[in-house]
Amino acid sequence: MSENAGQPVWLITGSSAGLGLALTRYALSQGHRVIATSRSPPKTPDLVQEVESQGGKWLALDTTQTDQQIKEIVRQAESFFGRIDVLVNNAAFCVLGAVEDLPDADIVLQMRTNFLGPVRIMQAVLPGMRKRRSGMIMNVSSTQGFVASHACGVYAASKFALEAMSEACRAEVAAFGIRVLIIEPGAFRTGFANPSAAKYIEPSEAYAGEHVVNQRLIQVNKYIGTAMGSPEKAAMVMFEAATGKGAAGELIEKEKILRVILGPDSWKAIDMKIKELRRSADLIQEVAASTNL
């Protein structure tokens, strides 16, 4: 029996880059067992070899696959080490553009990738977690999953939906000893917004030029690769959050925190949204109360 046979088993989607890769590496470095996934493992043979040389596994998983295909992949993942203790729904991409300009096919693909796929994976791992009465589901959202901004409408919608499902699921599975966390990353130095990974919708005439949509698209392109967030530091916090270890993990577990905010930029945007919600709720209180029979 290997020396780490009793260590937790992770299933991490989107492991070939960004936060997924950083978390995969960090969990392995801590002696945990990791099943990494990506859409096309043959495209990253060095990463596959790196993970497997440390006792991990790598599977092909595309979040747009059918419900039955995802269930089969999860069954295969569970067969490697006998269970899945931590699910990290990290795989995602973003479609950027004005709501009016968004092609229907891109809206559907965005929701299938960022929302429906993660939900199906959750559904596939929950029976095993319920049976063992333990487990952790960590859904990677975004600042945009709490604060939607211009040019990010459908991406934000996909993350808002994932957050809503996470909140509901958290309440439903707590009795089974299963925890659910939402990760709220800000801007991190990954390739997430690169044109090769993201989908930029060319603004129509009304949204071109000096319009805020076009200016946002220009801004995102301009700052690719210059974000201040460190994926490696984010991975450490995510690991602590999942395990309840370290300063971050102890705080999150003790205070029953649902949303783990990563990055001062994310904290600032979320804090501003909360303040605005508080202001609006206070102002509209009497109007709300006036509608009863």
Distance of CA 286 to the CA centre of its chain: 38
141 counts as catalytic? yes
Under a CB-based contact definition with an 8 Å cutoff, are residues 263 and 185 in contact? Answer: yes
207 classed as catalytic: no
Q: Which residue has the tokens 């490696």?
A: 232
Catalytic residue among 155, 158, 166, 207: 155
Strands (E), the chain: 9-12, 33-38, 57-60, 86-89, 95-96, 135-140, 178-185, 199-200, 259-262
Q: Which of 15, 16, 159, 207 is labelled catalytic?
A: 159
Tokens of 41: 């493992």
Catalytic, 155? Answer yes
Which structure tokens are listed for 151? Answer: 């040019």
**Residue 92 in contact with residue 140, Cβ under 8 Å?**
yes
Write down the catalytic residue from 16, 141, 142, 166.
141
Query: CB within 8 A of 88, min separation 6: which ones?
Result: 10, 11, 12, 13, 20, 23, 138, 140, 238, 242
CA 191 → CA 46, 136, 150, 214, 224, distances in Å? 18, 27, 21, 21, 8
User: What residues are labeled active site?
Assistant: 141, 155, 159
